[in-house]
Amino acid sequence: MKRNSNQLVRLDDSALAGESEAISPASAKPLFGLDTVSLAARMIEMGEPAWRGPQLAEAIYRQRLPELSEFTTLSKSLRQKLAVEGWQVGRPRIAQVFRSVDGTERYLVECQDGVTVETVWMPDGDDGEAGDGSEVDDADGELKERAGKSWRRATICVSSQVGCAVNCQFCLTAKLGLQRNLTAGEIAGQVVAVLDRHGVEVGRDRVNLVFMGMGEPFLNYDNFMAAVTLLVREVELSPQRMTVSTSGIVPGIERFAQEPADLRPKLAISLNAPDDRVRDELMPINRKWRIEAVIDAVRGVKLRPRERITFEYVLLGGVTDQPEHALEVARLVRRTGLPAKVNLIAWNPGPGIAYTTPRPEAVEAFRATLVDQGIPAYLRRPRGRDIYAACGQLKRTVEE
């Protein structure tokens, strides 16, 4: 599909003024990324009482203040002392915004060293959470329009690495290769910057996180789980509103299965093929960990009530969208023996990738076949295709 460049809207910098602090030299020490205990330890090292740690965490993660100068619970002298010692909030900042005609926003989020990653805001979601039971977690059982907000629920898609080494053949991010892992603060910082931009009230607004942006989270496991821990324990988001997607890194899935239920996000497996032969071609990682090994690892996850494993399946026209493929996928999903659902994604085009988008009739026939086989199947709505924000399209596309 040829991109309509008129739809790629770069907002000017004035639209972002006051949103976050300017990037400081890489030598500056970021407070963002440290949990309450670590913040208290830093305070003690500076000769301050330990209770300054929770005070700092409150300002950084709950009040989401992007600059030390706004920390009015600290004395001016302490703020100065922190600054003199090189400390700053150091939260990644939204450097550019691209807004889709459908309301989706794609951000270039800049880390302290100037590296940028992509984060996406999808007001009203993309139906990726359909059928997972989380709808009934809303406090009063219904969605309410929040005063002054144009959205009732939203999904934030978060990156875990700069680029990606997994090299899925249908994915634009793969073209970047892996540039570096993101730190826990850089992963959690994307979320907090976007929550801040949209005035999200944690605990009241319904916001889902999907770790499905640039990168393979389970190839940056420690930083990914440290970011989740910050988001759960410090920002106070629910892990049951988070989903991490993996291409099938078996040792990562095995570690993930051991995470405590009050910290573990939901799991999605990026399956994308009906068998090992096709998957070997589309996802070279399959040559290392076969579908059977991935499914065995998934069986080790102890699901919470109403939780399901999600299988993500990108439909490529003529390659993975045939009725016999759907029958094979149903068989694979049944083999897990776990409550599961399939999220279908009609492939989103990208330059230099020689696949075609499936016909709408093929997509519907695929979904209907899965449902006939007793497998819940949902079609994810493509969001932000015009701004290269849709699944598999994140590649820091900035040209106008």
391 catalytic? Reply is: yes
Nearest Cα neighbor of 92 from 119, 73, 121 is 119
In angstroms, give the least distance from the CB of 118 to ligand SF4. 10
DSSP three-state, residue 114: coil
**Residue 358: partners with Cβ closer than 8 Å, 6 or more residues away:** 315, 316, 317, 318, 321, 346, 347, 366
Among 53, 189, 252, 392, the residue binding ligand SF4 under the rule CB under 6 A is 392
Measured CA to CA, the distance from residue 291 to residue 274 in angstroms comes to 9
Q: Nearer to ligand SF4 by C-beta: 112 or 246?
A: 246
Strand (E) or helix (H) holding 278: helix 276-282
DSSP β-ladder status, 161-163 and 153-157: unpaired
Q: Which of 105, 110, 216, 234 binds ligand SF4 (CB under 6 A)?
A: 216
Nearer to ligand SF4, 97 or 269 (CB): 269
Judged by CB under 6 A, the stretch of 97-105, 209-217, 255-263, 356-364 that binds ligand SF4 is 209-217
- Please tell me the distance from the alpha carbon of residue 393 to that of residue 400, in angstroms, as a whole number: 16
Q: According to CB under 6 A, which one of 31, 43, 166, 329 is a site residue for ligand SF4?
A: 166
Q: In the bound complex, what is the minimum distance in angstroms from residue 173's beta carbon to ligand SF4?
A: 4
The DSSP-derived string for 314-335 is EE-TTTT-SHHHHHHHHHHHHH
Q: By the 8 A CB rule, do 56 and 39 touch? A: yes
* Binding to ligand SF4 in span 234-273, by CB under 6 A: 247
Q: Is position 174 an interface residue for ligand SF4 (rule: CB under 6 A)?
A: yes
For residues 330 and 274, give the distance between their C-alpha atoms in angstroms, rounded to a whole number: 9
- Single out the catalytic residue among 111, 164, 168, 391: 391
Q: For residues 98-130, b (16+ Cβ closer than 10 Å) or e, as one string?
A: bbbebebbbbbbbbbeebbbbbbbbbbbbebbb
319-338 residues near ligand SF4, rule: CB under 6 A: none
Of 63-71, 167-175, 227-235, 273-281: span binding ligand SF4 (CB under 6 A): 167-175
Residue 311 Cβ vs ligand SF4, minimum distance, rounded to whole Å: 14
AA identity, residue 361: E
35 and 229 Cβ atoms separated by less than 8 Å: yes
Q: Does 168 bind ligand SF4 (CB under 6 A)?
A: yes
For residue 171, state whether it binds ligand SF4 (rule: CB under 6 A).
yes
For ligand SF4, how many residues bind (rule: CB under 6 A)?
12
Position among 34, 164, 242, 268 found at the interface with ligand SF4 (CB under 6 A): 164
Pairing of the two strands 93-99 and 87-88: unpaired
Residue 162 makes contact with ligand SF4 by CB under 6 A:
no
Using the minimum distance from each CB to ligand SF4, give the nearer residue, 98 or 170. 170
From the candidates 118, 129, 186, 216, give the one annotated as an active-site residue: 118
- Write out the residues near ligand SF4 by the rule CB under 6 A: 164, 166-168, 171, 173-174, 214-216, 247, 392
Give the residue numbers annotated as catalytic, written as ranges. Answer: 118, 391
